Structure 1
Amino acid sequence: MKELIGTGVALITPFTKDLQVDVDGLKRVVDFNITNGIDYLVVLGTTAESATLTDNEKALVVKTIQEANAGRVPLVLGIGGNNTQAIIDELQSKDLSAFAAILSVSPMYNKPTQEGICQHFAAIAKASPKPIILYNVPGRTASNMLPETVIRLAKDFENIVGIKEAAGDMVQAMRLLRDCPSDFLVISGDDMVTLPMVLAGGAGVISVIGEGFPAEFSKMVRLGRERKVDEAYKIHNSLMPAIDFIFAEGNPAGIKAVFKKLGICGDTVRLPLVGVTDSLRNKIDAFVDQMY
């Protein structure tokens, strides 16, 4: 899965002020990221506000991104949840031919045991026609997928090819890097620790901040992979304030504020999310002005 090494971005879903999918805005977001050097796009992840989209809207988002991408970079599709059979049904009914892999989040709310998590992904792996990237994000799921569970899945299923690791725990990441098969992709899902994870041997990132600053963030990841540490950390340090800003009042409200300032799309989010406060918007706007 060399095509998924480097910088992937978890695409937002832009909305118009009347809460419809902003197709033109989404096309501009895709083009902005591709022309500024990202390596692949993640479609219908958490950052896309997928939980608030209807099936018809999800189909529209997929169609729009495929058309805007026009085969330029690989695509990864988010298919996950806390109903194992529903995920299997979706995998078996959807046309996945345009996608290099699927990204599947660890079950949320149910709080399964490690054995339950393992059996969940084992069932998905047996049903999936595409390679699978696991997604561990305890801050959202209230359940941490432990390294031993990931290692077991990586060794038992050839089509489980990587993990988006978003626990923000470098010790956990280092255990994955040490003990998973050598061709297993350990991908950062936490923008603030992306560079140290890459320098420790990680495959790259699926990023939120990289979506708003694709040239800078993808360059940082490339420099990290080339072991140009001082140059990479210079970019990392310059982006640290923005990483804090975009998550301060929830994702994707923060990154949408970046896109509004850039003039690429609006910053409307759907309830239960709300837009950023004026004080945070002022900080984001000032940072964007400084960068561009």
Structure 2
Amino acid sequence: MSRRARDGCWEVRGVDRPRRRRSATVGDVARPLYVETLVRCEADRLWHLTQAPDLHPRWDLRFSSIQPTVRDADGHQHFTYALVLPHPRAALLTVTGTGVSVGQRRDAAGRGTSALRFRPHGVLSPLGEGAGYWRYVPTEHGVRFLTGYDYVPGWGGLGRVLDPFLVRPLVGWATAWSFDRLRLWAETGLDPALARNRALRDAAVRSVGLGLSLGALAAAGGRRTRRHGRRHGQRRSLVGAAVAVAAAALLWPVGSGTPSARRCLRRAPDRRSATAPTSLDTVPLPMGSAAPGRDA
């Protein structure tokens, strides 16, 4: 991965990015993903919640399990990962892959970095091979926890078409939502499973509100009414109420104890944040099977 930041972006070295036609919304290459949150907790606690392989999948929607395999002579941790959708207890789709990571604590204040490369197995994953990094930046208000990563789209030509408009925005949202769930866990001790349940209830309430609004609009549109008179006034009131409920369902702020992707920063505020750490240059590409080395 190149360490040069350009317009808030960085590039994956050794990964062939497909060229795309320039358009009003997408340049030659889609913008790498960036997410940042401020976590008000001790740096050691944040490091533990993010680096422990048994804890990481509990808050990160992108993983159902992470299994360390071997650590090579250079200190790189090899691992396998799986994403089971929609839930491990009701598996309809399972995506697996391998990865290599390395973490570095820089000083006693908690500053650190973590870098990885990953490669999915098979053709089911909408993400091809890629690379990314985490940064831990202590401040007087908490720890800035940020990530930048990029990947080659999966699914061949179809994936290259869908990635900038569907897959990449969805993966970015999942990353931001996961970061906010991590923040709640680190700051308040809110169990990630409980946070997920709160988010599902919130989504259900909003969906009901939207459904009622659409039903009311359909009913109002199907009525034959005169331009003036009581029925016309009732129709206008019904439409107004439906629009108000729909707006509330879409725009009402998420509760402070419920994860929300909106709370995370989605663009790098400075060049350094958008620049991968030098340790990523040392991380080898993951192989289809565990790399040789000593046991972790």
Task: Please state which band the TM-score falls in when normalised by the shorter chain.
Answer: under 0.3
More strand by share: 2
Larger radius of gyration: 2
